[in-house]
Structure 1
């Protein structure tokens, strides 16, 4: 176990490296006017948001090949803490962006020899901050990438994110809707993954005007060009996209959770009862019948 992992598991949130970095940035003198002027001077600012496990590292790497753009994948280590905070305390999202994140971007990027006129992030950790980004950076382009919920649930369960031992999400207490028969602590890992996919994508859809399916972005250059390159005013040649889409980045390793075709009938029923509305919203037609037909 690395020292950082040990600290994250043993320390209280206020003692973690993420929170120490956040405090240091907030105490670094820099006028808000200067930060605002820097953002206004950018040719483009964008944030591609998602639940994570949506090819975000792959997409950031591909977009960062554009000569005029600096594109980062989740540039702050353990920013999942900010995501957790925004779930449990939604009002924190505004101050996080306004008082910390804008200054953090400026201090990290402005004046660097490789500074470019376009700044972008592909960042699942900020998915609860979409409204705050829009209010503080009205010129920023926001995109929402969604992936088939069945693949997300499998990937998250493979990683054990909500199994009870994650350095950030252990002890998470999201406010569940009143119709839920039990609270978060009583949910299984599978149910938690389903809830996270459905709830987070519903939240993103409410605050980000454009939603794109991951499967379309890797399956069709035209979908990638129209959905991503056009609104971001970037250029990635077809050959570069074609080469990149065959090289998975940050894929889950080790023992894999069962593929959805190996789910039990109970698991399939659980998934569709929680995620069915959002699956339909994003056009995964026929997926329910396919899943139930394959259920054990």
Structure 2
């Protein structure tokens, strides 16, 4: 671990007075489609001295390398070196508190803990039936959506893959992906200074008290000071809507594939 030293430049910038490796690692992790784009805006607008970043561009190809590592068992040393170097670079570029919201990290959750550094994780979850419907429709951002299914290792997927993987529907494969991503995030729980599970359905809820409770839980877990009053109006607008492809959620398939884990999150399966 690097030593923390104070330079003349540091003294002229109060936001840089805290050495990067004294700050906790702060992550909002999920399988995607759980409101993380909204949370990026919320943290940047409503929490002072915070820089929240959603899916830093280089982590997309790191995820592809992680999928290759997980599938073929090669490239672990290279992935680790690249990941740690670029994570440190992102941290160093931020003077205050850095929060990363990043579903791409599901494929490399084992790289997040670092000896001597606090790790704080908010684990966002969503009902698997509606999540699989959303991710099967959305697939990827508009830039990558036309090619995402054609590029090997371009999205997280289970390793090892379930039997007859190639014969499963997109919806069924999404459900297995839900299981795999959420289990990998849960494996971090005992390595974290703070870890909490927040349900999408509680964050985006008609009951403002549930929403406020979810936001407070996120702030507390990330060791961030919440605002005196939350601006809840911004929750009414979906910032990253899925295209309407006429797909229908399948609760029976969700129960068969994801029921056991979904019940742990409080869903009625």
Conserved in 1, the CA contact under 8 Å of 2:29 and 2:123? Answer: yes
Choose the corresponding residue for 1:102, options 50, 59, 84. Answer: 84
Kindly state the Cα deviation for residue 240 of structure 1 after the two structures are TM-superposed: 3.9
Match of residue 224 from structure 1 = 214
- Counterpart in 1 of 2:234? 244
TM-score normalised by L of structure 1:
0.68
Is the alpha carbon distance of 1:245 and 1:284 closer, same or farther for their aligned partners in structure 2, counting shifts above 3 Å? same
- Tell me the equivalent position of 2:266: 283
CA separation in 1, counterparts of 2:241 and 2:4?
A: 36
Scaled by the length of structure 2, the TM-score of the pair is: 0.74
Q: Deviations over 1:257-287 (max 9, x none)?
A: 4342xx4xxxx433221111121111012xx
**Is the counterpart of residue 258 in structure 1 residue 247 in structure 2?**
yes
1:146 aligned residue (125, 129, 133): 125
1:208-259 alpha-carbon deviations (Å, 9 max, x no partner): 3432212222332442244201122223437544122112111112x33434
Q: Write the distance in 1 (CA, Å) between the matches of 2:198 and 2:116.
A: 21
1:171-228 C-alpha deviation (Å, 9 max, x unpaired) = 9874336xx442x223221211111011211221122343221222233244224420
Q: Given the superposition, is the C-alpha separation of residues 170 and 125 from structure 1 closer, same or farther in structure 2, using an over 3 Å criterion?
A: closer
- Number of equivalenced pairs: 240
Contact 1:53–1:152 under 8 Å retained in 2: yes
Question: Are the counterparts in 1 of residues 126 and 201 from structure 2 also a CA contact under 8 Å?
Answer: yes
Using the TM superposition, give the Cα deviation of residue 54 of structure 1 relative to its aligned residue in structure 2, in angstroms.
0.8
8 A Cα contact 1:158 1:256, kept in partner: yes
Distance in 1 between residues matched to 2:115 and 2:76, nearest whole Å: 8
The equivalent position to 1:175 in structure 2, one of 147, 159, 180, is: 159
Q: Is the 8 A contact 2:196 2:221 kept in 1?
A: no
Residues 1:59 and 2:43 are matched in the alignment: no
Match of 2:255 among 261, 268, 272: 272
User: Unaligned regions of 5+ residues in structure 2, if any?
Assistant: 6-17, 190-194
> Which of 100, 105, 110 is the matching residue for 1:121?
100
Structure with higher helix content: 1
Give the conservation status (yes or no) of the 8 Å contact 1:50–1:124.
Answer: yes
Question: Could you tell me which residue of structure 2 aligns to residue 291 of structure 1?
Answer: none
